[in-house]
Amino acid sequence: MATTLVIAAAPVRLPSGPAFPPGRHGFGGTPPIRAILQQDEDCTKPSTTVAEAKPWTRSALGLTRSWRLSRGAGVLVAVVDTGVDGSTPAPADQVDAVGAASKDCVGHGSFAAGLIAAAPQPGTGVVGIAPAARVLSVSLDARDALTEAVAYATEHDALVVAPAAPDIAPSESGSSRPDPTAWPYFLAFIPQVLFVADYGPQGGRPEGAPQPFAPDLAAPGDSVVSVGPGGEGHFIGSGSSLAAANVAGAAALVRARSPELSAGQTVDRLEHSAYPSDVPRLDLYVALSSVGGADRATAPRGASAQVELPEPHSQVPRTRAVAIAASAGIFLAPLVAAMVVVPRGRARSWRSAGR
């Protein structure tokens, strides 16, 4: 079973802040999602705002035509975050959890899981990139344990995605401030990780956003809308961790459509098909319709991708998805065990994966 591991809130620390200024994102009244709570704060309350319109990310990612090729069936996405609330309607039937990760007092993990795999709901245009994928909710805060989990995952052909910059806290004036304590939590020393930077509806990043650390790819991550803990309402958020969630969803679509690709080849596909920019931007449809898959360690960076234009409503993705789903239980158990019980601090011999 193809697996993608997205490291969302675990490597970042986001101070709480007030709501986004009205009119900045087109979803007035939508409450902001948090990554952590202050000691005197209660758990995040369910949102009472339902976003009826389609978020800008649907057109930016080309989801309508991309879903003709793949919806992520048979792929497992492990979300290392604050947990995923099992009572959230949109992704509820698609989520498994390890221990306490079935609860989400903060809400950030539920938000990220919704970006990846939220199912369509009546009365709203909010839906995940890979609505047929499954989500595994995991909570790991200790750096050593997280590093060990990433090591095990990459050794077993799991694609690992992480944010390339700390998330930011919005202020009442519309400016944003990074949390300086976030940097020590970053996984920048691990060459196997795909690092993702964020951008917003206007193509740029928020004012005051910290510079990303050596990003491999950029994806929508600012003023993005998703589900949250409890209820049927929606939240809005910004940050590289949310862009990483969107790339994880994109990787799920690619791995479902092309299960013969290794994790490294999938990264190559995402990078080589990306739209040229200072930081290459995710081009999901081109990634899905490309053919071939040179290994990440040998493929020349910047090589042009060949594009295959399938017939409308092709049955090929559906047939492959069934074959992948049949092996769903094979990979889950060892990955969960590694994330939870792998001894901390055990020295490993890291090998570069072509970076």
Measured in degrees and rounded to the nearest 5, phi and psi for residue 311 equal -65, 150
Pick the more confident residue, 46 or 295.
Answer: 46
277 — pLDDT class (breaks 50, 70, 90):
very high
Q: What is the pLDDT of residue 188?
A: 53
Q: pLDDT of 116-134, one tens digit each?
A: 999 998 999 999 999 999 9
Percent of the chain with pLDDT over 70: 66
Pairing relation of β-strands 290-291 and 306-307?
antiparallel
Instruction: Give the mean pLDDT of the chain.
Output: 75
Asked if residue 218 lies in contact with residue 140, where contact means CB atoms within 8 angstroms, the answer is: no
Q: How far apart are CA 344 and CA 79, in angstroms?
A: 20
Look-up of token digits 């499954």: 134
Neighbours of 179 (CB within 10 A): 18
- Residue 234's alpha-carbon distances to 13, 32, 45, 223, in angstroms, are 22, 9, 11, 12
**3-state class percentages of the chain: helix first, strand second, coil last, to nearest 5:** 30, 15, 55
Section 13-40 average pLDDT: 59
Burial of 49 (C-beta count, 10 Å sphere; 0-12/13-18/19+): middle
What type of residue is 28?
Answer: G
Q: How far apart are CA 353 and CA 336, in angstroms?
A: 23
User: Which token pair is 179?
Assistant: 């949390």
Q: What does the CA dihedral 254, 111, 184, 43 come to, rounded to 10 degrees?
A: -160
Neighbours of 336 (CB within 10 A): 18
Q: How far apart are CA 166 and CA 224, in angstroms?
A: 16
Q: pLDDT of 284-341, one tens digit each?
A: 999 999 865 444 433 433 444 454 544 444 444 333 333 222 222 323 333 443 443 3
Q: How far apart are CA 17 and CA 38, in angstroms?
A: 10
Q: pLDDT of 137-190, one tens digit each?
A: 998 666 677 778 888 888 999 999 988 887 765 443 344 444 444 444 456 567
Pick the more confident residue, 283 or 36.
Answer: 283
Q: List the one residue out of 270, 307, 315 whose CA is nearest residue 291.
A: 307
Domains of the chain: 3-14+41-341 (3.40.50.200)
